[in-house]
Amino acid sequence: MPSNDITPTRSVLLDVKKRIKLSKSGHKIMKMKRDGLIMEFFEVMEKAKAMRSSVVSDYEIAMERIAIARAVEGEIAVKSAAYALKNEPTVTVGSKSIMGMMVPKVEADVSKSTVLNKGYGVISTSAYIEEASKAFEKLLVTLVRAAEIETTMKKLLDEIERTKRRVNALEFKVIPELEDAQRFIKFRLEEMERENTIRLKFLKSKG
């Protein structure tokens, strides 16, 4: 805050003091939030790492199963079974709060899908196609969960960056400037006090 913008009065001093107090407590809370977010980020990162390896392994299993199903039963049979499907998996997108930050909560619902209600006959449908279908349902759940975790991680990173900037702004700009302003007002008030005393002494000596 440039000193020529400051009116050196007691009320402004009180206001600046209040703002310094508020900024310091804000700075403390922001620092705590930043540390909390960093801790949360590391936890999410571990989950994301595990989830990435699950995605890779589930994808490999699903691709192998579908390759076997296409080989044993033929592309025609696999395609035909896919056309018969009645239940499409649903994806529900919600949100949850981590330290006041909203992150997505995504859930894939494939639980209702059993061999009885898929839309094709139970007797003739090959176990190879059924296993491929199960593997892809599992992959879908893992992918959706991975998407949720990766988005949370990205949002956490953005939030940490933003909080860090705010902490730095408070620590290195806002609070020092307010303290400078406080010092300037105090100095000016003291100066005005001294000028007043001298003025009074001068008037007394004249009278």
**Nearest CA-CA partner of 120 in 79, 89, 91, 90:** 79
- For other proteins, give the closer residue by CB, 46 or 75: 75
Rounded Cα gap, residues 143 and 135, in angstroms:
12
Instruction: Read off the tokens for 100.
Output: 């006041």
Task: Name the helix (H) or strand (E) containing 207.
Answer: none
Q: Which of residues 123-182 bind other proteins (CB under 8 A)?
A: 123-128, 130-131
Q: Which of 16, 23, 30, 120 touches other proteins by CB under 8 A?
A: 120
Q: Which stretch binds other proteins (CB under 8 A): 1-9, 67-75, 151-159, 181-189?
A: 67-75
From candidates 18, 21, 28, 79, binder to other proteins by CB under 8 A: 79
CA distances from 192 to 9, 122, 184, 198, 199 (A): 10, 96, 12, 10, 10
- Residue (69 or 185) nearer to other proteins, CB: 69
| Smallest distance from other proteins to CB 115, Å | 5
In contact, 195 and 51? CB cutoff 8 Å: no
Is 10 a binder of other proteins (CB under 8 A)?
Answer: no
152 CB neighbour count, 10 Å cutoff:
22
Min dist CB 90 to other proteins, Å, is 18
9 φ/ψ angles, rounded to the nearest 5 degrees: -120, 165
Torsion, CA 71, CA 75, CA 77, CA 82, rounded to 10: 120
* Contacting range for other proteins; rule: CB under 8 A; set: 47-55, 81-89, 99-107, 197-205: 81-89
Q: How far is the CB of 149 from other proteins (least distance, A)?
A: 28
56 binds other proteins (CB under 8 A): no
Binding region for other proteins (CB under 8 A): 63-64, 67-68, 70-72, 74-76, 79-81, 83-84, 86, 114-128, 130-131
